[in-house]
Structure 1
Amino acid sequence: MIANIPKVLKKIYPLLNWDETPDGNEVFLTFDDGPIPEVTPWVLEKLKEYDVKATFFCIGDNVLKHPKIYQRILDEGHAVGNHTHKHLKGWNTDDGTYLKDIENAGEFISSNLFRPPYGRIKKSQIKLIQSLNYHIIMWSILSGDYNKNRSPEACFNNVKRNLKPGSVVVFHDSIKADNNMRYALEKTLIFMRENNFKGVSIKR
């Protein structure tokens, strides 16, 4: 698994945002696939405990099912982004269907940030999404928390080895990632505090 993004991908997809411009020691934690009641509230409590702001790339259908958790994300000062309505994989979806699914999610998610599920998106879809004034946010570090074959320690080490100012880190507030994410996130938050990294949300 690729923990950090090779330079070649940035050259192939120069219109995508792979990292952010930091103010000092800022880093950008992100969470995909929520909100869900089994995981997202725990994430919010941990972020509050360590005084970190993050960005949640939400699935529209989950926002529809759990509007109070979505509102809590906003009320606690975090940013949100569109992660499609039904978690569609761009490579396997025709452009019209993909764009309509994003628009459906946009009815419930007020944001001009977008992240493609699985990180898989066609160049034709990139142009269409950007025509809707979305900023497509990718990442520079994958924790790998979604991978059942990786240990929680390995997920944290993916982050620890590669974290630097401007890094965009991917975690998942999902059932599948829950065990790995809880360990890796708390360790990451401790590591950030010990090394004076400031966790902030992505703004556009």
Structure 2
Amino acid sequence: MRLDSFKHFKTDMYFGIVKSFLAYHPVNTGTKTVFLTFDDGPEPGITEFVLEQLALHQAKATFFCCGCNVAAHPALYDRLMAEGHAVGNHTYSHLYGPETEPRHYADDVRKCDEILSTSTILFRPPWGILNFWEMFLLRKKRIVLWDVESGDVRPDVELTSILADIDAHTAKGQGIVLFHFSKEHEQRTRLLLPAILEHCTIKGYSFETL
């Protein structure tokens, strides 16, 4: 699911627009709260690892699931639900919004809704972007982006920088952290998640669902 440089440019542009005007932001209650979110799964191996790490810290998270992966691995989906985590829609087929016909995109989102065993209004578009017609067609959804990237897709980002970013955003009440629970990014997720959970636990943060 890699993008070329032109797609990266469009991604940044659309992401900024959606985040500034349409994305959901949790109410800042003044508490030290982190909202861990995971995209793209569930996929075997990494999903079990993520759930085990969360359990070690009594942490709850929000999983933005691709419908195709829920269909392929229903037991993993059932497990994350049974362990008290929240779920959101991440499209059925991991579509790239700006290059998809809007009604096809909306149909793909509805297809994902149909396979999720719990009703949710939470929606995260793949790569954090969708076009304006797609936004209109999905206006009843709560679009959730993120404040901090965990670095599991960015091998060039140092852990110290990620931790400082989490602290800075959480202090402003903007503590949504992006992870993945997919095979593509498994190596970095396995490296970073335990360290980030440990850091946030020592700092006294609570881990909540959206």
Q: What TM-score do the two structures reach when normalised by structure 2?
A: 0.84
Aligned match for 1:160, one of 163, 169, 184: 163
Q: Which amino acid is the alignment partner of residue 185 of structure 1?
A: L
Deviates more, 1:65-74 or 1:19-28: 19-28
**Contact map agreement 1:141 1:158 (CA 8 A) in 2:** no
Is there any run of 5+ residues in structure 2 with no aligned partner, and where? 1-7
Higher share in helix: 2
Q: Distance in 2 between matches of 1:55 and 1:167?
A: 13
Q: How has the CA–CA distance of structure 1 residues 159 and 20 changed in structure 2, closer, same or farther, with 3 Å as cutoff?
A: farther
Q: Distance in 1 between matches of 2:184 and 2:76?
A: 19
Q: Distance in 2 between matches of 1:94 and 1:106?
A: 19
Aligned match for 2:41, one of 31, 34, 40: 34
Residue 184 (1) aligns with residue 187 (2): no
Partner of 2:59: 52
Shift of 1:12: 7.0
Name the SS for the 2:183 alignment partner: coil
Name the SS for the 1:96 alignment partner: helix
Partner of 1:14: 21
Partner of 2:122: 113
Name the SS for the 1:51 alignment partner: coil
Q: Which amino acid is the alignment partner of residue 178 of structure 2?
A: V
Q: How has the CA–CA distance of structure 1 residues 155 and 75 changed in structure 2, closer, same or farther, with 3 Å as cutoff?
A: farther
Name the SS for the 1:97 alignment partner: helix
Q: How has the CA–CA distance of structure 1 residues 115 and 195 changed in structure 2, closer, same or farther, with 3 Å as cutoff?
A: same
Partner of 2:207: 199
Q: How has the CA–CA distance of structure 1 residues 83 and 96 changed in structure 2, closer, same or farther, with 3 Å as cutoff?
A: same
**Contact map agreement 1:29 1:55 (CA 8 A) in 2:** yes
Q: Which amino acid is the alignment partner of residue 26 of structure 2?
A: E
Q: How has the CA–CA distance of structure 1 residues 103 and 41 changed in structure 2, closer, same or farther, with 3 Å as cutoff?
A: same
Q: Distance in 1 between matches of 2:23 and 2:52?
A: 31
Name the SS for the 1:81 alignment partner: strand
Partner of 1:126: 135
**Contact map agreement 2:42 2:69 (CA 8 A) in 1:** yes
Q: How has the CA–CA distance of structure 1 residues 40 and 11 changed in structure 2, closer, same or farther, with 3 Å as cutoff?
A: closer
Aligned-CA RMSD value: 2.2
Q: Distance in 2 between matches of 1:80 and 1:159?
A: 24
Shift of 1:75: 0.8
Residue-pair matches, total: 191
Aligned match for 2:50, one of 29, 43, 53: 43
Identity within the alignment, %: 34
**Contact map agreement 1:39 1:175 (CA 8 A) in 2:** yes
Shift of 1:182: 1.1
Q: Provide runs of 4+ in structure 1 moved above 6 Å.
A: none
